[in-house]
Structure 1
Amino acid sequence: MAIAEVTIIPIGTASTSLSHYVAHMQRVLAQQEGISYELTSMSTIIEGPLERVLEVIRVLHESTFEAGAARVSTSIKIDDRRDREASSQQKLQSVQAKLSQSLDN
């Protein structure tokens, strides 16, 4: 399963506010099958099979044009671990477990 962090930035809009575009992309994500996703304050995390995640990112990129952007910049970070199952939540739990360990370990 791949974990992707995606930031899609509409450029050439009439406003400095982007929340309209973010809300639109979240609606588009809600219609996508075969993935899970989480909105963060600075990006969206998408999890699923790599091929599907990449398809969904393309759909999001295109939907931003459909929402009125004249130019779109998309940044993607992908963590594709194949030695064992991983998720965004599991990664956070792993760090939390290490934070709770004594400093002596």
Structure 2
Amino acid sequence: MKFIVEDAGAYLQIKVTEARIDAAIATPFKDKLREIVVKHRKPVHLDMANVTFMDSSGLGAMIAVRKSLPDNLAIVLCAMTPNVERVFRLTRMDRVFDIRPDAIQKEANE
């Protein structure tokens, strides 16, 4: 499980490099992401542009990470592909997570 992590000052930029977040990698994904976030103790902007597929295990991993974070550490999901965004919308998790359409780099330059 590999992430590209950059400190952007007020928040941590994390780019997901996996194309699929499914049952095969959900647990390592959750554990590694949680480890990174807890280590840096900053809000996270998670670039999901590379993720083309997410199943219920992947969604469960995202929920577990969010629930494990203190209230002051937000997680913003950026640049979701239509298929992944559909999973969040159908399960109404789009009301729970802060979802932004732009990639992290665009957002950082604004």
* Alignment TM-score > 0.5, same fold: no
Larger Rg: 1
Q: Under a length normalisation based on structure 1, what TM-score does the superposition of the two structures give? A: 0.28
Q: Under a length normalisation based on structure 2, what TM-score does the superposition of the two structures give? A: 0.27
